[in-house]
Structure 1
C-alpha cells in the first residue's frame, strides 16, 4: 500500500486558503514594496513616440520606457505582454531577470509566425525556457510562461497582432497599461516610427485588458470576439476580433461616420481637422475607408495623412476622386541602399479635432495596433479611444512633423546614376511596385 501524507487540519487548510486569497487581493488592491532600484523609474502616463533617425534617446524613447518599466516591477508583481513579435535581447533579458530574480509572474503571448522552425527566434526560445523554471513552487497567479498563438489567440483566423503591456505595479505606479504600435523588437526602435500610450492608476482599464489577456492565453476561439468598454467619457477600449454581437459594418467606418466637417468650435476655420498615421492601408476594406476619408475632404474637412503602405486603388481614390488630392506623405526609407524599405512608419492613429458626434469641440484620438487592411478584423487587436486635448496635441504634432519634414527617400545607386549618386524614388510608391527589380515593401509585413 502506498503511504499517503496526512491531510492538514481544517484550520490549517482554511488559513492556507485565506493566505492565498489575501496575497491575490493584496496584489490587486494594496501597495507593493518598491525596491530602491525600481523606485528610480515610475512610468508616466501619456504619449511616447520614437524617431529611428534620431539619437539614442530618440530611437529608444518607447523601448526604453518598456524596459525600465519591466525593471521597475517589484518582487511578486505581475507582467502581461501581448506582442505580435518578440525580438529584443534587452527585453528578453529584463523579463528573465524579473521572473528569476524577483519572482515576478511573467506571461507573454505572441504569434507563432514569428517563432517557428521556418522562422527561428533564439531569443523567444531562450525566454520560453527561462520562464518554465521555478513555477512549481509558485502560487498560480505568479507562474510564468510564453505562448505562441496558432492564429488570432481569441479567434479562428487572423493573427495575434495586439501590442499591449500590463504591469501590476512599476515603480510607484499601479495598474499600468501600455498600448500602441510598438512590438517587443529592436526593429521597432531603429527601423520604425512607433507610438505607445500609457494609462496609470486606472484599475478598471487594467482589469479589462487582463481579462482580454487571460482569453488570449487560452488560445481558443471566443464567441464574442469584440469587446467595447467605456471608462467614463475620456477613455474607451475596443478589442478585436471583430465578431459577435455589435459587429455589423466596419469599426473604422463607424468612427468616420461620426465626423461632421463643418460647425467645429475649436478650430479657427470652423472646419473639422482629421489627421491619420497608418502603416498598411489596402484591399477592399482599405478602399472603403479611403472613400470615406475622401468624402470627408470633399465635404470640407481638413485632412492630412502620413502612411507607409497603400494600395493602388486607395491612392487613386485619395488623390483623384475630388477637386484636389487629399494631402499625403509616404514615410518610408531605404537608408542602406539595398532596394528594400528598412525604415518605415508603423503607427496606426486617427485624430479628430472639431465636430465629432454631438460634440463640436471634440479632441478624439484613436490609437492601437490595427492597420486599415482586411487582415485586421479577424485578428487580435486593441484600440483605445481617448478624449483629451493633450493627447490629440501630441499625436497631431507627430503627424505634422512627419508630414512637413518626411525623411529623405532616396537611396544610393551605382553605374548609370553615379553622377548624382542616388536614385530619387517617386513621391508615392504603390503596393506591388518594383524598383530595379526589387520590392521595397519586402520587409514591411502586417506587423
Structure 2
C-alpha cells in the first residue's frame, strides 16, 4: 500500500537521513507530500523526519527573505522513485552548464507522478525515462481535461472541477490559456481562479465566461525589483503559487490530479528553464485543494480584481 507523507499547510523543514542499506525486507514505495507557506501566520512548522532515498523537493519559493515573509508558496517532496530521481539529475546537470540545448521540452511519466521539463536529455542512459514533448505543455494539459465527470468525482452533479492558483498570468500566452478555460467552462467544467499578477484582458476573458476570479496581492508600494537593481512599484505581499487541480476526467480517465511547479502562465514561461510536476495522489491533491479553498474563501487573503490594496495581511 502506498504511503503518503503528511501534508501540512505551513512551510516545513525536512531533514532526511541516509537511506538504510537494502535488505530482503526493504520495500521502497514512491511517496509524495505537500506543504505550504502562509505568510499571514509567520513561518511555523510541524515536521516529520524519515529515512528515505531519491529525495526531491520542488518549490515555487525562491531563496530569499521575501519568499518567507511576503509570499504564499508550496513545496512538494517526492522520494523513493529512483527513475524520476535519475531523470531529475540528468536535467540538473544540463542546467548547471547554463548553455542552450535542444529539444526544448521533455517528459517523464511514472505511475503516480509525471514531470514536464524544459530541458533535453543529454545522457543516452536516461532516455528510457525521458522523451521529447512539443508545443505549450500547459495548454495541452488543459485540453486533456473533459468536463463530464463520472460518479464519485467532480462536483457530484457530473461536472469536472478545476481550480487554478496562478502567480503570473498575462500577454498572448496567458490570454490563450484563459480562452481555453473559458471554452471548458462552456462545456460544463466548474472552474474558479485565484491569481496575483493577472492582466486585465485575462480577467475579462475569464469573467465573461462566468469564471470567478479573486486576486491575492497586497501591500502595494515601492520595492526592490526581482533583479535587485532598481526600485519598482508593485505588491509586496502576494501568492507566488503556480498550480492547477482537477477532480473529474483527465487524460480519458476518472482522476484527481494536481500539476504544480515553477512555470507561470505568461510568455517567459515558455522561454525559461521550468519544471511542472503532475501528481495523481489523492492525499496530495486534497492538500492543494484545501490550500486553494483557504485562500479563495478568506477576504484577508484575496480581493476583487482591479484594485491595489495598501494593507498588508502578511506577518
TM range (shorter): 0.7 to 0.9
- Name the structure with the higher strand share: 2
Contact 1:242–1:377 (Cα < 8 Å) also in 2: no
2: CA distance, partners of 1:387 / 1:45 = 10
Shift of 1:184: 1.6
Partner residue in 1 for 2:77: 198
Q: Secondary structure at the match of 1:194?
A: strand
1:264 aligns to 2:130 (yes or no): no
2: CA distance, partners of 1:352 / 1:56 = 29
Q: Secondary structure at the match of 2:41?
A: coil
Deviations 1:16-60 (A, max 9, x none): xxxxxxxxxxxxx9748xxxxxxxxxxx94000010010440xxx
1:236 aligns to 2:114 (yes or no): yes
1:48 aligns to 2:35 (yes or no): yes
1:307 aligns to 2:184 (yes or no): no
1:109-258 map, 5 Å: 172-232=51-111, 234-240=112-118, 245-248=132-135, 250-258=136-144
Q: Runs of 4+ in structure 1 displaced over 3 angstroms?
A: 29-32, 241-246, 335-340
2: CA distance, partners of 1:331 / 1:204 = 37
Contact 2:102–2:119 (Cα < 8 Å) also in 1: no
User: Normalization by structure 2: what TM-score?
Assistant: 0.76
1: CA distance, partners of 2:299 / 2:37 = 14
1: CA distance, partners of 2:222 / 2:88 = 41
1:326 aligns to 2:220 (yes or no): no
Partner residue in 2 for 1:158: none
- Name the structure with the higher helix share: 1
Q: Which runs of 5+ in 1 are unaligned?
A: 1-28, 33-43, 69-169, 410-425, 441-447
* Larger RCO of the pair (alpha carbons < 8 Å, separation 6+): 2
Contact 1:49–1:194 (Cα < 8 Å) also in 2: yes
1: CA distance, partners of 2:263 / 2:282 = 23
User: Normalization by structure 1: what TM-score?
Assistant: 0.55
Shift of 1:171: 6.0
2: CA distance, partners of 1:373 / 1:297 = 21
Partner residue in 2 for 1:371: 264
C-alpha distance 190-211 of structure 1, shift in aligned 2 (>3 A): same
1: CA distance, partners of 2:163 / 2:72 = 16
C-alpha distance 269-206 of structure 1, shift in aligned 2 (>3 A): same
1: CA distance, partners of 2:38 / 2:213 = 20
Q: RMSD across aligned C-alpha pairs, in angstroms?
A: 3.0
